[in-house]
Amino acid sequence: MVDNQDQENSHDANELGTIQFPAGTWAIDQSRSVIGFSVRHLLISTVRGHFDGFSGEIVTSGNPIGTSVEAYVEVATLQTGDSARDIFILSRELLDTERWPRMWMKGEVTGETSTRYILDTEMCIRDVVRPVQFEVAVDDLSIGKRCRNPSNTGRVTLHARATVNRKDFNLKFSPVLESGGIIVADTVDLRLDISATFDHP
């Protein structure tokens, strides 16, 4: 989040019509962002994970519609809180990080609802590229004034959500219980909490 003293503008998801982004490139701040996911396990608990290594940028033209996004994730930086589980997920059975060390996403904001922007992307996991649509909320937009912010840096905080079917990306490991129930659900919730910075010319 942005400190109050550095804020010129702050918006929530109910004020989409008032948001004006300066044209330029915003760099994703890895230290303040989270690329995460969650999936139901044994239909009882939820496994949550994230990636420590990623990069990307957002290119704006002043109007949020048409904003482009490009991001890359280093698959081997996966963390779920269980090292044995991480090793298995990264193995040839699932993500196969030795053959496909990076995931990527490229897309564009194509529309909006009353509270969210619609981000249509192509996402690549392993060697499979599929369309994925995110809903994006703008949590904070701060454009520093030179007199108060010598670095003249802006910052925006975004929250993007989507749900995908892991089998669409050939992640088809599907063991079953003796009772016939599945161990891991097919659907995976993606959670991107992004803080990005913009340097004024």
| Residues 36, 20: Cα–Cα separation, whole Å | 28
Using the predicted structure, report yes or no on whether residue 1 has a pLDDT greater than 60: no
| Residues 201, 189: Cα–Cα separation, whole Å | 37
17 or 123: which leads in pLDDT: 123
CATH number of the CATH domain containing 117? 2.40.128.110
Using the predicted structure, report yes or no on whether residue 67 has a pLDDT greater than 70: yes
Average pLDDT, rounded, for the chain:
83
- pLDDT for the residue numbered 93: 86
With helix as H, strand as E and coil as C, how does 89-103 read? HHCCCCCCCCCCCEE
Q: How many independent structural domains does the chain possess?
A: 1
Q: Domain range holding 189? A: 4-199
Helix (H) or strand (E) segment spanning residue 189: strand 184-199
- pLDDT for the residue numbered 148: 44
- pLDDT for the residue numbered 144: 55
CB 98 within 8 A of CB 85: no
- pLDDT for the residue numbered 181: 45
Tokens 């995908």: give the residue: 164
What does the pLDDT look like over 152-196, one tens digit per residue?
568 899 999 999 999 999 988 765 444 444 577 889 999 999 999
- Lookup: tokens for 17: 């019509």
Residue 44 confidence class, pLDDT cut points 50, 70, 90: confident
